[in-house]
Amino acid sequence: MLPFIIYFVAAIVTGIHLLTLLSLAAYGVTISPFELLALLGSILILIAAYVSLFRPYAAARIALLAAILMWSFYGPAIATYVRGRLAKRSVLSEVTLPSGRPEARKTIEIRYRSEFQ
């Protein structure tokens, strides 16, 4: 019964998340094929939840296939998130000044670099 609960909850949570992302297509957002694969993975996990009540080993194989399909979408998203969190951030990326005095801009950039290094 525990595998059924785990598979069922995972299928519902990921399915709602992916359907929410796919519903943004109504506003003109492009759909990635990885989103569709992950949605197929959610459906397969739901099938695995049902199968786990009768044949747990077969359900585990279905769930493994579903997890591989879902990682095609969630894996790169997690990697991008981690890379963004570990990247060195600056307080101010660039100072924008009127182009009347380019030497003043250089002076401000030099002061900025010396203060934050």
Express as a percent the part of the chain with pLDDT over 90. 46
Specify the range with the lowest mean pLDDT, choosing from 35-49, 56-70, 72-86: 72-86
Looking at the domain assignment, is residue 105 inside a domain? Answer: no
How many independent structural domains does the chain possess? 1
Alpha helix (H) residue ranges in 24-86:
33-51, 56-86
pLDDT of 92 higher than 70: no
Q: Which residue has the tokens 């069922």?
A: 8
Categorize the per-residue pLDDT at 117 as very low, low, confident or very high, splitting at 50, 70 and 90: low
For position 80, what pLDDT does the model report?
Answer: 87
pLDDT in tens, 64-86: 999 999 999 889 888 888 888 88
Looking at the domain assignment, is residue 111 inside a domain? Answer: no
Looking at the domain assignment, is residue 64 inside a domain? Answer: yes
In angstroms, the CA 77 to CA 34 distance is 11
CB-facing half-sphere around the CA of 69: CA atoms within 13 A = 21
Looking at the domain assignment, is residue 48 inside a domain? Answer: yes
Q: What 3-state class would DSSP assign to 99?
A: coil
For position 105, what pLDDT does the model report?
Answer: 53
- The boundaries of the domain holding residue 54 are 2-86
pLDDT of 10 higher than 90: yes
Whole-model pTM above 0.85? no
**88-99 per-residue burial string, b: 16 or more CB within 10 A, e: under 16:** eeeeeeeeeeee
